[in-house]
Every structure is written in structure tokens, then in C-alpha cells.
């Protein structure tokens, strides 16, 4: 065990290793990087000296010299603590680590101003690629960077005012599947709860749902649309209000995981008193199986992996047209979505 926090010692440099080994810095560099020719004799001397001094290269210096950019990648997501986004981060990380690239993660809180600031900071650090879940209204400023060779990949939502590689979920397909499933179950008074005025994903999901209704010539669901569920608490309140109607909906489609959570909270208090409405939620929940909640499931980590793969391809020189990859979503039946209408 060791004690005192402080006995500052300067970090050894290549030059010091060279002196101790009695060779030039060039030789040290060659031996340590193993890329050029060198004799085993000097190699031994260098390795001994390096070990003795506890030498570690300074990657900053290396990357500066090598011109170009670094071996880091920046990821901007809404909030690292949200499982959807941390799933993305994990997927990205998996691909990157395998390639020796390191990941900067930053949460934007969905704030365009913060997103811009953080982006600039990453650019100043010369990230080798940038992965962004866009919140800003305009991403034109990234165009300059791309023109300078920076691969940019957008996740979860398409960017505004720019074209670029984009990884999306199958939002519309999921919404359609949810709508069809509830219709098949015999429901007509189906309430859809979301915040689709703001988000691309919600707009797509609700469009898919509406499409399912229209294809089936379903009527009766329109009065139950609610588009102001901005968090779990407000979603809970909205569901309460819906169920208090003279003719309440017999089914609910909630557009994301926190809205689903709010709806579940509203329903649990009704329990034995009355028949529960059916419920299908977009996004899976952490212990969804234990909650018997039917959902439109998708794989955030896979989306992260795809984004990273795409960025790597661009780094490797892929100059093909921009890709838009859609990650599939699918209905997972667990009970809540299969309750019959009253």
C-alpha cells in the first residue's frame, strides 16, 4: 500500500529514453512503434530504458505530428442516464474500441445551444468522426467540417438543412403495427398519447398509427388523440382524464417509454375497480416482461453499432452516397396489449 498523494515527478519523454538507451529519438520511436527496421541490439536497449523510466507515449504529441486528426470520436446524445441513449453509446463504444478509437460522450439535454457548444468543443479536439442525435434546428454548420473530411453520422432523427448518413428506428412501422394490433383486438376507441408536436420520432409514430386506422377505415379514435404528454407525470394525468370520460377509450397507444410509464401508473390505481384498457407502448421498458406490457421493441445498441460502423467506413474512405439505415422495430406481445375492449 502506498500513501502520500504527492511527490510530483515529471513524465519521461522519448528524448529521455533515448539518452538512457544511448540511441537517437528516432530509433526509440521506431522500436516502440515497431514499424521500421532496427536491430535487436538497440531494440533491447530501448525497451530496457523505456521500462526503467516507465515511459508512455504522449498521444497528443503523436497525433499532432501526424497531422490530420486524432483517434477519438465524439458522441452527442440527449442524456447518458436514459437507457435508450446509453444503449446507443454502448453500441458505438463496442465498434470503436475494437478499432482502437476512444469515445467522448456528452449529453446535450436536447438543448440546441448546448449541442452546438459541445459540438464545437469536439471539433476543436479534432475528433475523427462525430455521431449526433440532433436537437438543433439547423445543422448547416457541420457542412463546413464535413468538407474538411469529418464523417458525421446522425442518429434517431434526421438532421435539418443538411444531408448526411442517418440511422433511424422504424418509427412509422412501429406505430402502424401498434394500431393494427389494437384494431385486430377489436378496439375502436383507441387513444394515442405522445408529444408529437415536437419530435420527429413522435410525428412518425403517430403517422404510422393514423395510417393503420385509415387503412382499416376505422372511426372513433380521433377524439382520443392527446399530444401533450411531455413526461411521465403529465402522461399519467392525461390517462386519468381520458378514463374519466363518459365514453372512455378501450385501448391506449403510448409513444415512448416515459409516457408508457405514466400510463401504467394511472392504470395501476384502477385495478380491480374496473376493466383495464389495453396498452401498447413504443420503446421497450427495462423489466417490461415483469410488467406484462406489450411494446414496440427495438434495439438501441444496434443503432449505435450501425452508426459507428458507418462512421468507420467513411474514415476508411467510403465516399458513396449518404446512407439512411432503418433499424427494425417489432411488436412484443406480453398481455397488456391483448386485453379485449369492454
Partner DNA sequence: CTGAAAGCGCTAACAG
Partner DNA sequence: CTGTTAGCGCTTTCAG
Q: Does 25 bind DNA (CB under 7 A)?
A: yes
Q: How far is it, in rounded angstroms, from Cα 238 to Cα 230?
A: 11
Cβ count within 10 A of residue 233? 13
Residue among 168, 174, 249, 241 at smallest CA distance from 209: 174
Residue among 230, 290, 273, 219 at smallest CA distance from 254: 230
Q: Does 137 bind DNA (CB under 7 A)?
A: no
Report how far apart, in Å, the C-alpha atoms of 13 and of each of 33, 38, 62 are.
15, 20, 12
Beta strands 152-155 and 129-132 are: parallel
CB 235 within 8 A of CB 241: no
Residue among 25, 95, 97, 105 at smallest CA distance from 65: 25
How many residues in the shown chain lie near a second copy by CB under 8 A?
71
Question: What residues from 116 to 155 belong to the interface with a second copy (CB under 8 A)?
Answer: 118, 120-126, 140, 143-144, 146-149
Q: Which of a second copy, DNA, none does residue 30 bind (CB under 5 to 8 Å by kind)?
A: DNA
Q: Does 1 bind a second copy (CB under 8 A)?
A: yes
Q: Which of DNA, a second copy, none does residue 247 bind (CB under 5 to 8 Å by kind)?
A: none
* Choices 29-37, 90-98, 247-255, 327-335 (CB under 8 A): range interacting with a second copy: 90-98
Q: How far is it, in rounded angstroms, from Cα 143 to Cα 181?
A: 42
Q: Does 220 bind a second copy (CB under 8 A)?
A: no
Q: Does 81 bind a second copy (CB under 8 A)?
A: yes
Identify which of residues 39 and 222 has a Cβ nearer to DNA in the complex: 39
Q: Does 61 bind a second copy (CB under 8 A)?
A: yes
Among 19, 24, 188, 265, binds DNA (CB under 7 A): 24
Identify which of residues 9 and 81 has a Cβ nearer to DNA in the complex: 9
- 176-197: burial string, b at 16+ Cβ within 10 Å, e else: bbbbbbbbebebbbbbbbbbbe
Cβ count within 10 A of residue 124? 8
Q: Does 316 bind a second copy (CB under 8 A)?
A: no
Q: Does 107 bind a second copy (CB under 8 A)?
A: yes
Residue labelled with grid coordinates 380521433: 222
Among 32, 163, 276, 325, binds a second copy (CB under 8 A): 163
Identify which of residues 104 and 207 has a Cβ nearer to a second copy in the complex: 104
Q: How far is it, in rounded angstroms, from Cα 298 to Cα 167?
A: 13
Beta strands 294-297 and 330-332 are: antiparallel
* Choices 27-35, 50-58, 194-202, 214-222 (CB under 8 A): range interacting with a second copy: 50-58
Q: Does 61 bind DNA (CB under 7 A)?
A: yes
Among 19, 47, 53, 62, binds DNA (CB under 7 A): 62
* Choices 27-35, 100-108, 140-148, 327-335 (CB under 7 A): range interacting with DNA: 27-35
In the stretch 36-55, what mask flags binding to DNA with x, by CB under 7 A? xxxx-xxx-----------x
Question: What residues from 6 to 35 belong to the interface with a second copy (CB under 8 A)?
Answer: 6-11
Q: Which of a second copy, DNA, none does residue 147 bind (CB under 5 to 8 Å by kind)?
A: a second copy
* Shortest distance (Å) from residue 26 CB to DNA: 3
Q: How far is it, in rounded angstroms, from Cα 317 to Cα 172?
A: 33
Residue among 159, 165, 160 at smallest CA distance from 129: 165
Residues 6+ apart with CB under 8 A from 321: none
- Residue ranges in contact with DNA by CB under 7 A: 11, 13-15, 22-27, 29-30, 32-33, 35-39, 41-43, 55, 57-58, 61-62, 64-67
Amino acid at each position: 500500500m502506498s500513501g502520500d498523494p504527492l511527490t510530483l515527478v515529471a513524465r519521461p519523454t522519448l528524448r529521455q529514453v533515448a539518452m538512457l538507451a544511448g540511441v537517437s529519438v528516432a530509433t526509440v520511436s521506431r522500436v516502440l512503434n515497431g514499424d521500421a527496421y532496427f536491430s535487436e541490439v538497440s531494440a533491447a536497449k530501448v525497451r530496457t530504458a523505456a521500462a526503467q523510466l516507465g515511459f508512455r507515449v504522449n498521444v497528443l504529441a503523436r497525433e499532432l505530428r501526424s497531422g490530420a486528426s486524432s483517434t477519438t470520436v465524439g458522441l452527442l446524445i440527449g442524456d447518458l442516464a436514459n437507457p435508450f441513449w446509453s444503449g446507443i453509446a454502448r453500441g458505438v463504444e463496442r465498434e470503436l474500441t475494437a478499432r482502437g478509437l476512444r469515445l467522448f460522450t456528452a449529453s446535450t439535454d436536447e438543448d440546441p445551444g448546448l449541442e452546438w457548444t459541445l459540438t464545437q468543443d469536439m471539433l476543436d479536439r479534432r475528433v475523427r468522426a462525430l455521431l449526433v442525435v440532433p436537437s438543433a434546428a439547423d445543422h448547416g454548420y457541420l457542412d463546413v467540417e464535413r468538407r474538411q473530411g469529418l464523417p458525421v453520422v446522425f442518429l434517431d432523427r434526421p438532421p435539418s438543412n443538411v444531408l448526411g448518413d442517418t440511422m433511424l428506428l422504424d418509427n412509422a412501422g412501429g406505430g402502424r403495427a401498434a394500431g393494427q394490433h389494437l384494431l385486430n383486438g377489436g378496439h375502436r376507441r383507441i387513444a394515442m398519447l405522445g408529444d408529437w408536436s415536437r419530435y420527429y420520432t413522435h410525428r412518425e409514430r403517430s403517422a404510422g398509427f393514423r395510417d393503420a386506422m385509415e387503412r382499416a377505415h376505422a372511426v372513433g379514435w380521433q377524439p382520443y388523440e392527446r399530444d401533450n404528454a411531455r413526461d411521465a407525470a403529465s402522461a399519467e394525468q392525461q390517462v386519468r382524464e381520458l378514463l374519466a370520460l363518459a365514453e372512455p377509450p378501450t385501448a391506449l397507444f403510448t409513444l415512448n417509454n416515459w409516457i408508457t410509464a405514466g400510463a401504467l401508473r394511472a392504470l395501476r390505481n384502477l385495478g380491480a375497480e374496473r376493466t383495464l384498457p389495453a396498452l401498447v407502448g413504443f420503446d421497450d421498458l427495462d423489466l417490461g416482461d415483469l410488467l406484462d406490457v406489450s411494446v414496440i421493441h427495438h434495439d438501441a445498441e444496434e443503432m449505435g453499432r450501425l452508426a459507428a460502423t458507418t462512421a468507420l467506413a467513411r474514415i476508411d474512405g467510403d465516399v458513396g452516397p449518404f446512407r439512411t439505415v432503418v433499424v427494425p422495430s417489432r411488436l412484443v406481445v406480453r398481455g397488456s396489449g391483448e386485453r379485449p375492449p369492454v
